[in-house]
Amino acid sequence: MKKRFIFIPLAILISIASILVLACKHPLGAGIQLKKYGNDTVDTVDKVDKEKPLYPDSTKITVFTNQHIIPAITVTSNNTIIAAVGDKITKGKILIKKSKDLGKTWEEVTVANDTDFNNCHVHPFFITAHNNDILLGLATTNKSNNKVTFHRSKDNGET
């Protein structure tokens, strides 16, 4: 009698799981689309498709070099892009650049050095507040001096 009570809920659970699996889309997406050439199906993505730029009018611009670590980026309400990175070589230093033309040109922003960060790497991150204030967070990684500080800009990243 007890066996019957185990199998009935198990059968119901398997049925519900089967319905959910069949009703849902594949969690990894549609996958690679195969191209047909004549009667043969090619199982690789065409090289030309891989190398197409997302935006054909865009050009590649290097904003920071490889001596910088962990980039952060945000876009203000007036479409200014602000990017920040920690310096891998000079501990305690961050670099900030901004672009007012959607990334075509970049200008460096002068940053006051915080003496509390002199002996540790700094990892910047951005938070855009509900009132469009930009918060620049600075997290440090050092055994003796781990901390996070915030700086607020109320003028779309100008100060």
Residue 126 is predicted with a pLDDT of 93
Residue 12 is predicted with a pLDDT of 85
* H helix and E strand count, the chain: 2, 9
The whole-angstrom separation of Cα 108 and Cα 27 is 42
Q: Which residues of 120-133 are buried (b: 16+ CB within 10 A; e: fewer)?
A: bbbbbbbeeeeeeb
Q: Can you give the pLDDT of all 159 residues of the chain as single tens digits?
A: 555 667 788 888 888 877 766 666 655 555 555 555 455 544 454 444 555 655 666 677 777 777 778 889 999 888 899 999 888 888 778 889 999 988 888 999 887 666 667 778 888 999 988 898 999 998 887 777 788 888 899 988 887
CA–CA distance from 69 to each of 90, 93, 123, 152 (Å)? 11, 11, 8, 22
Residue 48 is predicted with a pLDDT of 47
Contact predicate 47/83, CB 8 Å: no
Residue 122 is predicted with a pLDDT of 86
Domain ranges of the chain: 68-153
Q: Comparing C-alpha atoms, which of 102, 52, 45, 40 is closest to residue 73?
A: 102
The whole-angstrom separation of Cα 153 and Cα 97 is 15
Residue 158 is predicted with a pLDDT of 82
19: left (phi over 0), alpha (psi -120 to 50) or beta: alpha
Q: Comparing C-alpha atoms, which of 86, 150, 93, 96 is closest to residue 119?
A: 93
Residue 134 is predicted with a pLDDT of 92
Q: Which residue has the tokens 């055994």?
A: 143
